[in-house]
Each structure stands twice: as C-alpha cells, then as structure tokens.
Amino acid sequence: MSSGGAERVASTLSNAWTARGDQVTLIPTFSGRGGCFYELSPAVRLVYLADLVSSRIRTWANQVERLRALRRFILAERPDVIVSFLSNVNVAAVIAAFGLGIPVIICERVDPFAMPISRGLRLACRFSYPLATVLMVQTQAVATKFAASGWSLKRLRVIPNPVSEQMLDIQRRIGDSTTKRLLSIGRLEEQKQFDILIRVFARLAQHYADWSLRIIGEGSLRTALQQQITELGLDARVELTGQSAMIGEELAMADIFALTSSYEGFPNALLEAMTVGLPCISFDCPSGPREISLDGQVALLVPLNDEQALELALERLMLDAELRQTLGRQACVSVIERFSLDKILEQWDLLFKELGIQR
C-alpha cells in the first residue's frame, strides 16, 4: 500500500464501499509488509498477508506458504467477492481461491501488452486469468488487445479509475505570477521517461526564463536524473522533490502538467491534474491518455517519444495563457463528467449485480 496508482484506487474504493455500509477487508500481499501511504477509513479492515506467514524472506517455500495462508484466510472469511489488483496478485488470488465458488475479479492496472514483464509472470497470467470470474481493465484499448489475444476469458469488462474526490476541492492559483511552473508526477523509473522531459525543458528554458520544472516522485533513477539536471546547468530551474502527500497543493501551484511515460494503464496523475483544471500534455502512450483526453480534445496529445512535438506543444502552452485556462476548464468538466466516483461505483455495482452479488 505504497504511493502507487493501484494503491490509491484500492484505498478510494475501499473507503467508498465502507462509507455506504459494505464490509471491506483489504489484504496487501507485499512480502515486506510495508505501510499504508493513503488514508484508509477506520471501517476498512486492514490485514497484511505478511503477518499471516512465519517468514518474510522471498523463497519458493515462502511463496507456497503465502498462497496457503491466503487460501486459509479466504476460507475463514467466505467473502461475497474477491477483487485483486496487479498482475502478480491476480495470479495469487486466482490460485488461492480456486474451487471455492467465490467470484474473483482480477484487475489489470497497466497495459500488459506494452509493459515489460518476465516470461514467468506472463505465462502465469496466461494460464490463470481464464480461471478468473472477470478480468477488468481500465481502457477499451487494453480490452481490445485482450479480446484479440486468444485468451479464453470468462468475462472481460472495462471500468476506469475514479477521480480523487479530494481533488474536487482544490482551488488553483491562476494569476500574473512572475514565475510559472511545469509539473510532472511519477516514480523516478524508466517507464516515466523524465530524462526526456528534462532534456526538452532544457531547450525551452533558454528562451523562457520565467518557467521552472518540478518533478514529484522517488525512485532508482534519482541520482542519474539529478546528474542530468546538473550537467544541463538547470539546478536552479528543475527540482526533484521526492514523494509528497500534498499532491493537491502541488497541482494548485502548477501552470502546466506533462506526462512523458512510455506506457501506462490509466494514469492517475494525468486524471488528477485535469480534475483540478490544469492544462495537460501527454505522450500518446499505451494506454489511457488517448481515452482520458478524448483523442486530444481536452488535453494535448503528442506522438510517443517525439521530443520535437513535445517541445512545440509545451511552447504553445507556455506562450498562451488564455489557451492554458481554456484547456484546463475543458479538462476539468470532461473528467468529472466521465470519471466521478459515483459514476465509477455505479459501474462496479452493475458488475456485482451481473455476478449475482447483492448488497
């Protein structure tokens, strides 16, 4: 339950379901246990799988013990439905619940056809996913890929992420400040391609002295990215802030949001930036940005990894305050209309009803 997008959605749904009277047990399966980055309602019962086994050392024996512990837990609880997030957890949930007669909804949080994963995990997904009651994905693009993959899935459904209700109350700072901020959020890992964003910003920074770049997140590439910033002479203009629990406030202080990922599932950072009315630019990566932006109508889409197109799009927004405000307003209206929590909960309820699960 760290600061990732899947964890954020898991906590949001758990809180919403308990708020209406449902009983929810959230069971993080991370072998190191960890902590809970996002706020959970006291009504959500939190049980760590790591506490149910004798060892947290990752060995084959430990993996088997964890599966047995998860199965014992499911047998003792007899839930109406199991919902799992992330590929490796999906595989474990399907195996642990096999033959118990409990519906299992497995949820892919990325585009598995674009994300590099190990051969072993890919094979495990290939053989276990057809055993799940439902495979849920976040975009129609990923659903189309699964439908064409030849996997014998029982049910395939699309339910996107909800917008964070906390973002609805964020009041953006819009004015004639002498400084302007380009913002990006994500783990400092290869997938997010912050090196591209920094390189493009370095070219723009020569002509737009009133703009800075702020990147929120932590990861293994911090040292390399900081070295890149220093070599480009941008220490005073580009900041790596680390993780932040104040994402709303960061978005409120920004003027443009950029997403430069090589692949996504359904990028929460982009969704939240649009929710608070930030004008956004995104690589047209698989998957999520195209559907969230309505094919580029309410956020600017540029071809994947096209640095020149990204530079031109950023410069266009930097130069035009009126365009920034217009695009931000349109983005806010569009995502709230399509991805509000109430609308997403309705889609989950329709699925539960289809599976014969009554509230």
Do 132 and 196 belong to one domain?
Answer: no
pLDDT digits (tens, 9 = 90+) for 135-171: 999 999 999 999 998 889 999 999 999 988 788 888 7
The structural domain count of the chain equals: 2
Same domain as 80, residue 182: no
Does 237 lie in the same domain as 209? Answer: yes
Distance CA 163, CA 17 (A): 15
| Domain carrying residue 151 | 5-162+340-354
Does 85 lie in the same domain as 193?
no
Q: Do 51 and 158 fall into the same domain?
A: yes
For residue 81, being part of any structural domain is answered with yes
In a domain? residue 16? yes
In a domain, 359, yes or no: no
Please return the burial class of 268, using the count of CB atoms within 10 Å of its CB with bins 0-12, 13-18 and 19+.
buried
Residue 317 falls inside a structural domain: yes
The label of the residue with tokens 């927004």 reads 317
Which of 174-178, 222-226, 242-246, 251-255 has the least mean pLDDT? 174-178
Confidence at residue 176, expressed as pLDDT on a 0 to 100 scale: 56
Q: Are residues 99 and 115 in the same domain?
A: yes
Mean pLDDT of the chain: 92
pLDDT tens-digit map of 286-330: 989 999 999 999 999 999 999 999 999 999 999 999 999 999 999
Asked, for residue 144, whether it belongs to a domain, the answer is yes
Residue 122 has pLDDT above 80, yes or no: yes
Residue 5 has pLDDT above 90, yes or no: no
Mean pLDDT computed over 70-76: 95
Which residue stretches of the chain are H helix?
A: 5-19, 60-77, 87-97, 119-128, 140-147, 194-205, 222-231, 247-252, 268-275, 289-292, 307-319, 321-339, 341-354
Residues 317 and 345 both lie in one domain? no
Q: Which of 102-106, 263-267, 277-281 comes out lowest in average pLDDT? A: 263-267
User: In terms of domains, do 173 and 237 share one?
Assistant: yes
Which pLDDT score, from 0 to 100, does residue 109 have?
Answer: 87
pTM (predicted TM-score):
0.86
One domain for residues 176 and 192: yes
Residue 346 lies in a domain: yes
Split at pLDDT 50, 70, 90, the class of 174 is: low
Are residues 322 and 179 located together in one domain of the fold?
A: yes
Examine residue 221 and state whether it is found in any structural domain, yes or no. yes
Same-domain status, 99 and 233: no
Q: How far apart are CA 256 and CA 317, in angstroms?
A: 8
Inside any domain, residue 120: yes
For residue 348, pLDDT beyond 80: yes
Q: Work out the burial of residue 287: count CB atoms within 10 Å of its CB; fewer than 13 is exposed, 13-18 middle, 19 or more buried.
A: buried
Domain with 198 in it: what CATH number? 3.40.50.2000
List the structure tokens of 266: 């359904």
Amino acid at 159: I
Same domain, 186 and 150: no
